[in-house]
Amino acid sequence: ETPFEIYVYLMAFRSKEILDQYLQFFKSFMDTYPSFEGLPDNSDVLPEGVEIVMPPHFNMTFVHFLPGGYLNGHTVRISYLGKTKFNFLDEAKIGEWLTKLHGDKNPKRILDIGTGPGFSAFVLAEMFPESEIIAVDLAAPYIRMARKWQELRNITNIKFYHANAEDLSWLESESFDLINYAYVLHEMPADNAVNIVNEIYRLLTPGGTMNGFEVPFPDSHLERQIMVDQNTWGYSWQEPDGPQGPEPYLEEYEFGTLLTETLAAVGFQNI
């Protein structure tokens, strides 16, 4: 990672008043990165015989100012470099917490949702070398990068797929002992997030474990509103003409998804 890459990324968070101009510059810089292109229908990374429906929001309002969002393969490297900035992308920290929370378990089959370049999946593969790990992400370019990285790391117990976690009907019910996700549900409208929670519950074996790392969910309504205002810049994700901030769906998560309540309503215990 170069100092200029750090500068380019962090400048987005300081460009509210000139966001359109900044995003033009950001895109021109991103276009110099590899694109991780594949077949036009993404069948090179889809599960065999499976077609997916892309939720409209995924190609409408983009998180983290990424030009074209996660579907733009040119953004893969800048997202990968987030490992130097965010704890949930730091494999050492991921491993520390997963070991603390679940190191005493012996899951035979693990699902990693929203795997991105594969940080969590690789940690899980090393923690549980006898387990079969399925890692999915809605962004096909990120799955291509993860597969290339997997080859370089010579890790054989992961299968990476382009898939929509709202509909994983190609996976058998009650077939995973551990399902993990990291910072996924706050990046979508509440209805989509609830769909994923329902799929997680369907896929877990009886007595299985869901592990989720997410943004804070303060008890105080005021604290949650302050978080929303700071991260959406006061704009709704449905307002295409506004500078929607780095986390345009945060209001949906903090006041719509209501994760702990949703988990209980679905049937989860020991939340």
Listed residue (177, 215, 208, 183) closest to 196, CA to CA:
183
| Burial degree of 11 (CB within 10 A; 0-12, 13-18, 19+) | middle
CB atoms within 10 A of CB 180: 28
| Cα-based distances in Å from 157 to 93, 119, 153 | 21, 14, 12
Q: What angle do CA 181, 9, 255 make, to 5 degrees?
A: 45
d(CA 22, CA 84): 22
The string of pLDDT tens digits covering residues 125-175 is: 999 999 999 999 999 999 999 999 999 999 999 999 999 999 999 999 999
**DSSP string spanning 139-201?**
-HHHHHHHHHHHHHHT--SEEEEE--TT--TTS-TT-EEEEEEES-GGGS-HHHHHHHHHHHH
What's the pLDDT at 241?
Answer: 72
- Average the pLDDT over 191-207 and give the result: 97
Question: Tokens 């074996």, residue?
Answer: 205
The string of pLDDT tens digits covering residues 74-90 is: 999 999 998 888 888 89
Q: What angle do CA 105, 158, 45 make, to 5 degrees?
A: 145
Listed residue (42, 267, 47, 28) closest to 139, CA to CA:
42
d(CA 147, CA 103): 26
What's the pLDDT at 117?
Answer: 94
Listed residue (128, 146, 160) closest to 36, CA to CA:
146
d(CA 56, CA 171): 23
d(CA 237, CA 216): 20
The string of pLDDT tens digits covering residues 238-269 is: 886 777 788 999 999 999 999 999 999 999 99
Average pLDDT score over the chain: 93
The answer to whether residues 102 and 178 touch, using CB atoms and an 8 Å cutoff, is yes
Side-chain-facing half-sphere of 233: CA atoms under 13 Å = 20
From the CA atom positions of the chain, what is the Rg in Å? 18
Q: Tell me what percent of the residues of the chain surpass a pLDDT of 70.
A: 100
The answer to whether residues 98 and 92 touch, using CB atoms and an 8 Å cutoff, is no
